[in-house]
Structure 1
Amino acid sequence: MTDRPDARQTYPALYAAEHGGFSVVPAAYVFLVEGDRVLLQLRANTGYYDGWWAASAAGHVEAGEPVTLAIVREASEELGVTLAEGELEALTTLHRTAPTGLAVDQRVDFFFACRAWSGTPALQEEKAADLRWFDLDALPERTVHHERFVLEGWRDGTLPAITAFGF
């Protein structure tokens, strides 16, 4: 504890022990967009939604990493492109769950769109099998459920700043 009015405080160990049993996994997603088209990757070799089309780039936010830098990092790692934080358009924050009740299924997803980047998007990792542009009005049938929810809501102008999915 400090008396400095500008000092940030942390939770005491006892408080954390009593209230730290619930956690959410933070993830960041970016959709690269050109006009009315969105770049999607075909998931593969992950064990989760393999064979389904998903965000241009996405991944977990690492400890101590701001969400905007997480998506800049993921776009570089997955697509070989460079994004500027100032070019990211926040779409929604999605609080999501699955019916398992497992801690790993408690998620908070930060979705962004980006219309400007440097480099040519190309797959950099083996967790995707293909990369294609799709019209926002003609998304593939097998688009990851919560990502389709975000894309369609954004396209239709009905996507709130904060949404819940799976509850």
Structure 2
Amino acid sequence: MAIPDFIREIRSTAGHRLLFLPGVSAVVFDGNGRVLLGRRADTGGWSIIGGIPDPGEQPAAAAVREVYEETAVRCVAERIVLVQTLTRPVVYPNGDRCQFMDVSLRCRAVGGEARVHDEESLEVGWFHLDALPELQEFALFRIRHALTDGPTWFDTTAGG
């Protein structure tokens, strides 16, 4: 994952300490009911598209931007699927630690052709729901909820 400039600035004084950060993820469907996935350069695994909003950027705008930056697909955000603080921090190969509050959005493709569009992806492509590559529960959970008509999912248990 490319590190945004504002995080580089924070890391210059925070070092590798745990940062609590906003995140967005996009479950993008095309007109044929396929879902857009990218094979991540940092882990080698397939996942839905996501990233970190810029300061002041709205979650829906960030999701649309991330989808285009990573896949060259134009999309529109349709609704919030879920809001979830991830319980385990992510530890990156350089030692940076982050914990994300993810806002996941259902999006609809409106243009562009899926292709690798930056250094964050090794491959991108459209997948029928009955032919998904191996995905972590993070992505599967979001895809399942994006297929429903809602309501927005969030954890209601004390302590998350």
Note whether the superposition's TM-score is higher than 0.5.
Answer: yes
1:73-120 CA-to-partner distances (Å, cap 9, x unmatched) read 212211223334xx433211122121689x944211111122232222
Kept in 2, the 8 Å contact 1:23–1:106? The answer is: yes
Matches within 5 A, 1:1-167: 24-34=20-30, 35-44=32-41, 46=42, 50-55=43-48, 57-84=49-76, 87-98=77-88, 104-141=97-134, 143-155=135-147, 160-163=152-155
Q: Percent identity?
A: 27
How has the CA–CA distance of structure 1 residues 27 and 88 changed in structure 2, closer, same or farther, with 3 Å as cutoff?
same
Greater Rg by CA: 1
Aligned partners of 1:163, 1:148: CA distance in 2, in Å? Answer: 17
- Asked if the contact 1:41/1:54 (under 8 Å) is kept, the reply is yes
Indicate if the aligned counterparts of 1:136 and 1:155 stay in contact, CA closer than 8 A: no
The question of whether the paired residues in 2 share the 8 Å contact of 1:150 and 1:159 is answered with no
1:137 to partner: Cα distance? 3.2
Between Structure 1 and Structure 2, the one with more strand by share is: 2
What displacement does 1:132 show? 2.1
CA drift of 1:65 comes to: 1.2
8 Å CA contact retained: 1:25, 1:104: no
List structure 1 runs of 4+ shifted beyond 6 angstroms: 156-159
Q: Gaps spanning 5+ residues in structure 2: where?
A: 1-17
CA pair 104-74 structure 1, distance change in 2 beyond 3 A: same
Q: How much is the aligned-residue C-alpha RMSD, in angstroms?
A: 3.0
Equivalenced residue count is 136
SS in 1 for 2:102: strand
Unaligned runs of 5+ in 1: 1-21
